[in-house]
């Protein structure tokens, strides 16, 4: 099958390679000349046979919006755009209206798998019409992980791919997925910190590695933490600054809008905000209050600076 891929970075580039290994023809475009097969979006569209399928894998927000607006003018009725970045689901609904006015189909695809997707496959959550999804199904089948089998050797349906609903459902599902991811990473991080804080535990990386088999908390994220600790046992080579890419915030916003209690995911999001503060104003206020009502000692800035290693 033929596909146009726009955006050949870490995700788009690896997805392109996985599709080519599955004998699909991919025409790639990227702003970086050395990566691309064609020099412009018009060239990309011209290189594809109708009905065309074009996958957009560029940063969410204005880059995605501008790309889809240009594609909608270039493509023909019956063609399909797949938007696979980390866009907000409400943006998809706006893009869908724009595309439908031109007779172009639109699918939003939440994609999970990171840099490991090339070898392991990508989990795909898509939104769109049944007709549009069916047109792109061979592409989704090549990208998703191999299906697991039950005890009788029968392939188990559903694993790694879902048509979640109409346009917006794919990115909404990925948004919730990433919110859960925030909470899982926070829990593993807190467990690591407690293990490292006590003298009783002599092999922190070993304890965490022991959890990867036979326990109820084993997961791919835990495997990745083990890998990180093998490379840097005390995590001395990195800082504790953690960004958020938007999905965690959007998940909490939707929880509020729909009156769904989500204390764990919300706390993990706020913990990332705390990670960006060298000297938390909140904790300054807490220290000052403890001093005011209880006479508890506070550490002066000068003393704190003097204790820092040279």
Label residue 114 left, alpha or beta by phi (over 0 means left) and psi (-120 to 50 means alpha): left
* CA atoms within 13 A of residue 51's CA, in its CB half-sphere: 13
* pLDDT for the residue 301: 61
CB 230 within 8 A of CB 205: yes
Please give the chain's pLDDT, 310 residues, in tens.
999 999 999 999 999 999 999 999 999 999 988 889 999 999 999 999 999 999 999 999 999 999 999 999 999 999 999 999 999 999 999 999 999 999 999 999 999 988 889 999 999 999 999 999 999 999 999 999 987 777 787 777 667 999 999 999 999 999 999 999 999 999 999 999 999 999 999 999 999 999 999 999 999 999 999 999 999 988 888 888 788 778 899 999 999 999 999 999 999 999 888 888 777 777 777 787 777 787 777 777 654 444 444 4
Residue ranges and CATH numbers for the domains of the chain are: 2-150+160-167 (3.40.50.720), 175-275 (1.10.1040.10)
* pLDDT for the residue 243: 81
Provide φ and ψ at 125, rounded to 5°: -120, 115
Q: How many CB atoms lie within 10 A of CB 13?
A: 17
Residue with tokens 């804080």: 197
* pLDDT for the residue 302: 54
* pLDDT for the residue 293: 80
User: What is the set of active-site residues?
Assistant: 174, 181
Judged on CB neighbours under 10 Å (0-12, 13-18, 19+), 264 is middle
Enter the tokens of residue 247. 């999905």
For residue 208, CA distances in Å to 116, 194, 211, 218, 221 come to: 21, 12, 5, 10, 11
Q: How many residues does the chain have?
A: 310
| Nearest of 90, 96, 2 to residue 50 by alpha carbon | 2
């Amino acid at each position: 099958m033929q596909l146009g891929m726009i955006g050949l970075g870490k995700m788009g580039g690896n997805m392109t390679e996985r599709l080519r290994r599955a004998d699909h023809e991919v025409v790639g475009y990227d702003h970086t000349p050395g990566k691309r097969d064609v020099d412009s979006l018009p060239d990309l569209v011209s290189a594809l046979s109708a009905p065309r399928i074009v996958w957009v894998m560029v940063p969410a927000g204005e880059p995605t919006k501008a790309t889809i607006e240009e594609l909608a003018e270039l493509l023909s009725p019956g063609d399909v755009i797949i938007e696979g970045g980390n866009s907000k689901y409400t943006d998809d609904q706006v893009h869908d209206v724009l595309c439908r006015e031109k007779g172009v189909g639109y699918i939003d695809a939440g994609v999970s798998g990171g840099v490991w997707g090339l070898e392991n496959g990508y989990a795909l959550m898509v939104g769109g019409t049944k007709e549009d999804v069916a047109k792109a199904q061979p592409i989704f089948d090549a990208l998703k992980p191999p299906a697991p089998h039950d005890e009788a050797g029968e392939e188990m349906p559903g694993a790694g791919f879902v048509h979640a609903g109409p346009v917006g459902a794919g990115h909404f599902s990925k948004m919730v997925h990433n919110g859960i991811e925030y909470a899982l990473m926070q829990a593993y991080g807190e467990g690591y910190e407690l293990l490292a804080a006590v003298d009783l535990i002599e092999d922190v990386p070993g304890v965490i590695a022991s959890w990867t088999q036979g326990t109820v908390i084993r997961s791919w994220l835990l495997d990745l933490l083990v890998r990180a600790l093998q490379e840097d046992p005390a995590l001395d080579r990195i800082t504790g600054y953690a960004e958020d890419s938007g999905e965690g915030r959007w998940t909490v916003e939707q929880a509020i809008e729909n009156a769904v209690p989500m204390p764990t995911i919300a706390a993990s999001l706020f913990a990332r905000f705390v990670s960006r503060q060298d000297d938390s104003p909140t904790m300054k206020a807490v220290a000052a209050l403890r001093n005011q009502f209880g006479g508890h000692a506070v550490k002066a800035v000068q003393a704190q600076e003097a204790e820092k290693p040279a």
